[in-house]
Amino acid sequence: FVRTALEQTRLRTALTPHPSQEKFRLIRANDDAAVLDALSFTAPKIRLLRSLTVEKKNSVQGSRLCCFL
């Protein structure tokens, strides 16, 4: 769902990576059991578009998409 929402948004506006995107793009747990994948973008009419996906052992544990206009 999150990937599709981002793709549809990219078709309608120009998304620019948010400065936090580079620092917090991908975070792995010490035991490599979980991965946090964070995406952050801005656009002319969107202050912040952020998604967070938590994956653990080849399954998605949680996913969130937030948009601040």
pTM of the model: 0.66
Domain ranges of the chain: 2-62
Give CA separation, 27 vs 23, 36, 45, 53, 55, in Å: 9, 5, 29, 11, 11
Angle of CA points 52, 55, 60, to nearest 5°: 90
Residue-wise pLDDT for 14-60, tens only, equals 888 888 777 777 788 877 788 888 888 888 888 888 888 888 877 77
Q: pLDDT band for position 7 (50/70/90)? A: confident
In this prediction, residue 1 carries a pLDDT of 67
